[in-house]
Structure 1
Amino acid sequence: MDVTISRRDLFDGMALGCVISGGAPGRAEAAQKALSEPAGFVVRGDTSAALSVPHALRDGRFWEHAGPFVPTGERHDLVVVGGGRGGISAASEWLRRRPHDRVLVLDNHDGIGGHAPLCRRAGADAVMCDEESFGADTLVRLTSPGWIGRLPISVRARRDLLMLHDDPPDWLPGLPAQAKQERLAELTYAQFLREVCGVHRDVERFSRTMSCSGWGYDTRAFGAIDAWGTGYPGFAGLGLDRDQPSRFNSPTVRREWHGPAPAAAPSRDERISVRTSSPVVSVRDGVVGYFDGHRVLTVEAGAVILACPSAVVPYLVPDLPAGRRAALSRAVRVPLLEAVVRLRDPGAWRRLGVGRVRWTGAYWNESAFVPPDGVRLLATPCRSELGPGAGSAAGRRELFATPYEVLERTVRDQLARLLGPVGFDPGQGIEAIEVRRWGHALSPEYCRPWDAFYPDGPFPSDAARGPFGRIAIAGSDSEPAARGEAAVVAAIRAVEELT
Structure 2
Amino acid sequence: MQRRDFLNGVALGIATSLAPSSFIFGKTPSGKMDKSENLSALAQAIFHEDASYPPSLLGLRGSDNASYAFAHLLRDGEKFDFKGIEPSAEYDLVVVGAGISGLAAACLYKEKHKNSKILLLDNHDDFGGHARRNEFDFAYNGARYNILSYAGSESLQSPKSLYSKEVAGFLKRFGLKIDKLAKGFDVGFYEKMGLTRGVYFDKQIFGCQKIVIGNPSKMVSDDVPASLRESISFGDFVAQFPLSEKDRAKLLELFTAKKDYLAHLDGSQKLVYLEKTSYLDFLEKQVGLSKEALKYFDGISDDFSALGIDAISCDEARESLLPGFEGLALDEDFASDSADTSAYEEPYIYHAPDGNATIARLLVKYLIPQIAPKARQKMEDIILAKFDYSKLDSPEHSVHLRLKSTAINVENLAQGAQVCYAQMSHMQMSHVKEVKIQKVLAKKVIMANYNSMIPYIIPTLPQAQREALSQNVKTPLIYAKAILRDWRSFAKLGVYDFYAPGMPFARVSLDYPVNLGGYTHESSIDKPICVHMVCSPVALARRSMDLHGMSAKDQARVARHLLYDLSFDSLENMLRAQLGAMLADSLFKQEDILAITINRWGHCYSYSFNSLFDDKKAFERAEVAARATFGNIAIANSDAGHGAYVHVAIEQAIRAVGSLS
The TM-score, its normalising length taken from structure 1, stands at 0.85
Q: Hey, what does 2:108 align to over in structure 1?
A: 93
8 Å Cα contact 1:190-1:208 kept in structure 2? no
- Report the Cα offset of residue 317 of structure 1: 0.5
Counterpart CA distance in 2 for 1:329 and 1:360 is: 33
Cα deviation 1:211-263 (Å, max 9, x = unaligned):
111111121112111212332111122113689965454xxx67825637978
Identity of aligned residues (%): 29
Cα deviation 1:177-204 (Å, max 9, x = unaligned):
2321211111111111001111222232
Q: Hey, what does 1:291 align to over in structure 2?
A: 422
- The one-letter amino acid of 1:279's match is T
Counterpart CA distance in 1 for 2:459 and 2:206 is: 51
1:377 equivalenced with 2:533 (yes/no): yes
- Report the Cα offset of residue 59 of structure 1: 0.7
- Report the Cα offset of residue 99 of structure 1: 2.4
Counterpart CA distance in 2 for 1:217 and 1:44 is: 22
**Aligned CA distance change for structure 1 residues 276 and 324 (closer, same or farther; 3 Å):** same
What does 1:202-351 align with in structure 2 at a 5 Å threshold?
202-240=292-330, 247=337, 249=339, 256=343, 259=346, 265-266=359-360, 267-268=362-363, 269-271=366-368, 272-284=399-411, 285=413, 286-293=417-424, 294-351=435-492
2:80 alignment partner, SS class:
helix
Counterpart CA distance in 1 for 2:489 and 2:79 is: 49
**Which one of the candidate residues 495, 498, 502 is aligned to 1:354?**
495
Q: Hey, what does 1:477 align to over in structure 2?
A: 639
What does 1:15-30 align with in structure 2 at a 5 Å threshold?
none
- Report the Cα offset of residue 462 of structure 1: 1.6
- Report the Cα offset of residue 483 of structure 1: 3.7
What does 1:417-432 align with in structure 2 at a 5 Å threshold?
417-426=581-590, 428-432=591-595
Counterpart CA distance in 2 for 1:442 and 1:462 is: 19
Structure 2 stretches lacking a partner, 5+ long: 1-36, 44-57, 131-151, 159-186, 188-195, 216-230, 369-398, 425-434, 512-520, 523-528
Counterpart CA distance in 1 for 2:342 and 2:459 is: 36
2:123 alignment partner, SS class:
coil
What does 1:172-183 align with in structure 2 at a 5 Å threshold?
172-173=262-263, 175-183=265-273
Counterpart CA distance in 2 for 1:79 and 1:361 is: 45
1:111 alignment partner, SS class:
coil
Cα deviation 1:12-48 (Å, max 9, x = unaligned):
xxxxxxxxxxxxxxxxxxxxxxx9x955451112111
Cα deviation 1:133-170 (Å, max 9, x = unaligned):
31343221112341111111111111011001111422
**Aligned CA distance change for structure 1 residues 132 and 485 (closer, same or farther; 3 Å):** farther
Cα deviation 1:33-87 (Å, max 9, x = unaligned):
xx9x9554511121111111110111123538x9963532x22211111111211
- The one-letter amino acid of 1:324's match is Q
Q: Hey, what does 1:16 align to over in structure 2?
A: none
Q: Hey, what does 1:487 align to over in structure 2?
A: 649
Q: Hey, what does 2:573 align to over in structure 1?
A: 409
**Aligned CA distance change for structure 1 residues 356 and 307 (closer, same or farther; 3 Å):** same
Counterpart CA distance in 1 for 2:467 and 2:618 is: 21
Q: Hey, what does 1:11 align to over in structure 2?
A: none
**Which one of the candidate residues 153, 176, 183 is aligned to 2:243?**
153
**Aligned CA distance change for structure 1 residues 68 and 196 (closer, same or farther; 3 Å):** farther
**Aligned CA distance change for structure 1 residues 127 and 484 (closer, same or farther; 3 Å):** farther
Give every structure 1 segment of 4 or more consecutive aligned residues whose post-TM-superposition deviation is greater than 4 Å. Answer: 118-122, 241-246, 260-264, 455-458
Structure 1 stretches lacking a partner, 5+ long: 1-34
Q: Hey, what does 2:551 align to over in structure 1?
A: 387
**Aligned CA distance change for structure 1 residues 247 and 479 (closer, same or farther; 3 Å):** farther
**Aligned CA distance change for structure 1 residues 228 and 430 (closer, same or farther; 3 Å):** same
8 Å Cα contact 1:466-1:497 kept in structure 2? no
**Aligned CA distance change for structure 1 residues 482 and 346 (closer, same or farther; 3 Å):** closer
Counterpart CA distance in 2 for 1:47 and 1:353 is: 36
**Aligned CA distance change for structure 1 residues 247 and 460 (closer, same or farther; 3 Å):** farther
Counterpart CA distance in 2 for 1:478 and 1:247 is: 25
Counterpart CA distance in 1 for 2:455 and 2:320 is: 36
1:42 equivalenced with 2:59 (yes/no): yes
What does 1:122-161 align with in structure 2 at a 5 Å threshold?
125-141=197-213, 142=215, 143-145=231-233, 146-161=236-251
- Report the Cα offset of residue 97 of structure 1: 2.2
- The one-letter amino acid of 2:200's match is M
- The one-letter amino acid of 2:480's match is A
1:185 equivalenced with 2:275 (yes/no): yes
- The one-letter amino acid of 2:232's match is S
- Report the Cα offset of residue 336 of structure 1: 0.7
Counterpart CA distance in 2 for 1:474 and 1:188 is: 32
Over the aligned positions, Cα root-mean-square deviation in angstroms equals 2.8
**Aligned CA distance change for structure 1 residues 82 and 243 (closer, same or farther; 3 Å):** farther
- Report the Cα offset of residue 368 of structure 1: 0.9
Counterpart CA distance in 2 for 1:243 and 1:259 is: 24
**Aligned CA distance change for structure 1 residues 67 and 318 (closer, same or farther; 3 Å):** closer
Cα deviation 1:431-457 (Å, max 9, x = unaligned):
111111111111101021121x22685
Counterpart CA distance in 2 for 1:242 and 1:344 is: 53
- The one-letter amino acid of 1:259's match is E
Q: Give aligned pairs, total.
A: 457
1:63 equivalenced with 2:80 (yes/no): yes
- The one-letter amino acid of 2:61's match is R
